[in-house]
Each structure stands twice: as C-alpha cells, then as structure tokens.
A and B are shown apart, each in its own frame.
Chain A
Amino acid sequence: MTSSRAAFAAILAKDLRSELRTLQSLPAMALFSVTTFVIFRFGLDRTQLSGSLAAGVLWATLLFAAVLGINRLFVAEREEGGFDAIRLAPIDRSVLFSAKAAALVIYLLALELIAVPIFALFFLHDLGGLLPLALILLLADLGLAATGTLISSMAVNSRARDLLVPLVLLPLVVPLMIAATGATEPLLALGGPGYHRFGTWLMVLGLYDLIFGLVGYAVFDFLLED
C-alpha cells in the first residue's frame, strides 16, 4: 500500500506539472485581477485607496479570481478519468483532497504574487502594510483552498457546474472574508499600518482553516464513492 505522503506528493506534482504545461488557470486568474482593478478604478472614480475601501477592493477581486481557479480544479479529473484512477489506486482517497487543496494554495499564492504588487502600484501610496498582509493572505488562502476544493469536487459532477461553485462557495467564505478584510483594513489605513485586533482576526482565520480543513478531509471520501 502506497504511503499517503508519496501519494500526496505524486498527485501534487502531477497537478503542478499539468498547470505549468497547459497554463490554464493561472494566467486567466491574474489577468482577471488586473482588469478588475482597472474597473474598480473607474467604478469608484479613485486613483488612491486606503482603509476599508482598499481592503474591500483587494479581497473582492482576489475572491472572484479564486473562483475562476476553483471552477477548473477538478475538470481534468472528471474528463480524463482521474476520479476512477483514484478509486482504483490503493491509497487513502482523502489524499486527493489534500493534494488538490495544496495545489490550489500554490495557485492562489502565485496569483497574489502578481496581483498584490499591481494593486499596490495602482492604488497604494504607503507600502508599509504589505508584509503583515502576506501573513493574512497565506491564512486566507488556506481556508479558501479547503472550502474551494470541497465545493469544487461536489460541483464538478453536477449539471450546472460553473454556476454552482460561485453560488455555494460565496456564503461559505463570508466569515473568512470578514476576518481577512477586518485585518487588512487597518493595515492599509491612510496614516500608516495599524494593528487593531490583528491577533483576533488571525485567530478567526486560523480557526476557519482548521474547521474547514478537517471537515473537508473527513467528508471527501463520501464524495468519491460511486
């Protein structure tokens, strides 16, 4: 019986290699983010953002870009028979969940490496808040990946696949967004970064990651049953 760690590494490597070769999700996500920033510039009629407005624009854009990636996460598995392969392989099936979630975290981090500097270039005049922002981005990505992988695997087998993911995912990530924007808002404030309730929000993010990571890992097996 193949060890879970080896299976995890194999599936993760397969996903990353596949993405590097086909470049399906990542360029689309990045381009979408940049275009959305431009739309916000005109929609809000502002060339500088700070505080709650900056946090809102950044997180809304990242969230919708993430949905694009989440929509495509299990498509290859469904079309090329990946689900059957996992069912046949002598491994613990929840490994697919962890590997896909890890791949999604990597895609999101890559997205943020492109989108956040561009956001700073377009809208921010004070870059002091960006380093602590990286920590929030990481924790939020973990939560988004856990929930996104779960919903994506459920939606991929249904009829209205691309509609279902945004519909079901968005209410579920609201606490995550509340915590992320709550922590980001003082960081991007006009007078320089503030840390009002930073620790509390980090804790909420961590709690969300833990709960949905565990729930996702626990129920994933039932989703793969035939």
Chain B
Amino acid sequence: MYGKGLRPLSIATVAMLALSLSLVFFYAPLDGDQGFIQKIFYLHVPLAIVALVGFVVGGVFAIAHLRTNNRKWDAYSYVAIHMSVIFGVAVLVTGSIWAKASWGHWWVWDEPTLVSFLIVFLMYATYYPFRYAIEDPERQARYASVFAITAGAFVPLNFMAVRMAQSLVHPRTFGTANGGLPGEMMLVFLCCLATMALLWVTLVKFELTAKSASGQVKRLRRALDAPTPGAASRIAPEVS
C-alpha cells in the first residue's frame, strides 16, 4: 500500500541525480574567486533548504495529527523530521568542508547562517530522546506532535534572531534580486534543488514503506501467536 510509486520515484531520483552532477561538473562555469571549490555550493545549499523545509513539513504533519487524531500523520511527521535531521548532518559536513577550503577554518562562530542551522539541528536532535522518554504510545505521539509544531514555529524566529546578532561573511547569494548568480549557475542550482527535494521525498517514502511492511509483519505475527523479536523496535512509531 505504501510502496506504490516507490520504484518510479527512485528511478526519477537517480536520473535527476545523474543529470545534476553532470551539470555541476561539466556545464556550470567556474566561480571567479573560489574556483572549483565553489561547486560544493550546489550540494550544500539545496541540502540545507530541503532540510529546513522538511522540518517545517514535519510540523505541518504534526498539526494534521493533532487535528485528525489519525496516527499515520504522526508517523509521517516522525519520518519527515528523521530525514531532515540526516540531511542536516550532511549540510553541516559539506558546509565544514566548504568553510575549510574557502575560509581556512572548519567552523566559524560569527556566521549567523551556520549558528542558526546548528541550533535548529541540535533542537531537532533532542526530538528523539524526548520522544523515547515517554512510554505510552498515544501520549508519545501527541507530545511529539506538539514538539514538532513548536519547533517548526521556532525555525524562522531563530534565523531572524541569529542573523540580527551578527555581521556577515557567509555568502548572501540570494540577498539581492536574483542573487548575483549568473544564468547558468542558477539553472544548475535549481536542478540540484529539485534533485535534493526529490531525494528527500523518495527516502521519506522508502522509510514509510519499510515501517508499513514491518508493521504488517508484526500484526501477522501477533495474529499467529508467533514470537516477536526485538522489543526495542516497538518504541518507534508504527505505521499500520
């Protein structure tokens, strides 16, 4: 039931990935100051945008869960946040590599964008211990939804506050109208953005399908009175 469309989605994602990477390496012009190193921008920024949007989407699913009381929305919210946290790790790693290559430091504190993203990432990382500290599954789902909504409201506020606190060295590529990005770079960037979004959707769908399948297996096992292995897996939200 959940797996419908997963195969075409995966194929599309792989195709887009191949297209984007070829565009990045063979089509996109070299940047004036940074040269070849700048190309990591095509990976780093789309990952960051998709991760942040993913967090907000997790909050939206959480609102749906609280309004309809249907546990599937909670599972969607959990998986959305899960995937965005993983993308967040990728953002921090690619960002550090770019920082080291172009500024000489793996991490700098006087960059509002870096600090905001780190704070958002740390906050969503607390989602897991918070969730698993609550034993009753229904309460766990409800509280997790409340957390996801609060955290979703927090993301824009955090970016605003941190940006106001400091000066900028982090490239404000999209600050002025149409950025400062020449046409070809913008095309490659948009292609990479679409690819990362597609990748996120595919991975989320994949995880939901896997959870659904294991949920069905568990139900069958219980119906057959067969032993269920792995008690630890019961704390993550199930999809039926």
Contacts and interface: CB of A to CB of B under 8 A. Distances in A.
A171 B150 contact: no
B129 interface: yes
Interface string A157-177: 111100110011001101100
Interface string B153-169: 11001101110110000
A211 B157 contact: yes
Contacts of A168: 123, 126, 130, 147
B66 A160 contact: no
Interface residues of A, number: 31
B160 A204 contact: yes
Interface stretch (A73-81, A103-111, A116-124, A217-225): A217-225
Contacts, number: 86
A182 B164 CA distance: 10
A153 B6 CA distance: 40
B interface SS class: helix
Nearest to B159: A175
Interface string A22-44: 00000000000000000000000
B129 A172 contact: no
A174 B146 contact: no
A113 interface: no
Interface string B124-148: 0010011001110001001101110
Interface in A169-226: 171-172, 174-175, 178-179, 182, 197, 200, 204, 207-208, 211-212, 215-216, 219, 222-223, 225
Contacts of A154: 130, 143, 146-147
A200 B130 contact: no
Contacts of A207: 157
A150 B130 CA distance: 13
Interface in B84-136: 119-120, 122-123, 126, 129-130, 133-135
Nearest to B66: A222
Given A160-B133, A223-B143, A175 B66 contact: no
A171 B129 CA distance: 14
A222 B146 contact: yes
B57 interface: no
Contacts of B161: 174-175, 178-179, 204, 208
Contact of A225 (B130, B142, B157): B142
Interface in B21-73: 66
B149 interface: yes
Interface of B: 66, 119-120, 122-123, 126, 129-130, 133-135, 139, 142-143, 145-147, 149-151, 153-154, 157-158, 160-162, 164-165
Interface of A: 150, 154-155, 157-160, 163-164, 167-168, 171-172, 174-175, 178-179, 182, 197, 200, 204, 207-208, 211-212, 215-216, 219, 222-223, 225
List 6 A-B pairs, minimum CB-CB distance, nearest first. Answer: A175-B161, A171-B123, A158-B133, A158-B134, A219-B146, A160-B133
Given A163-B133, A164-B130, 15 more contacts: A150-B146, A154-B146, A157-B139, A158-B135, A159-B133, A168-B126, A175-B157, A178-B165, A179-B161, A182-B165, A207-B157, A208-B161, A211-B157, A215-B153, A225-B142
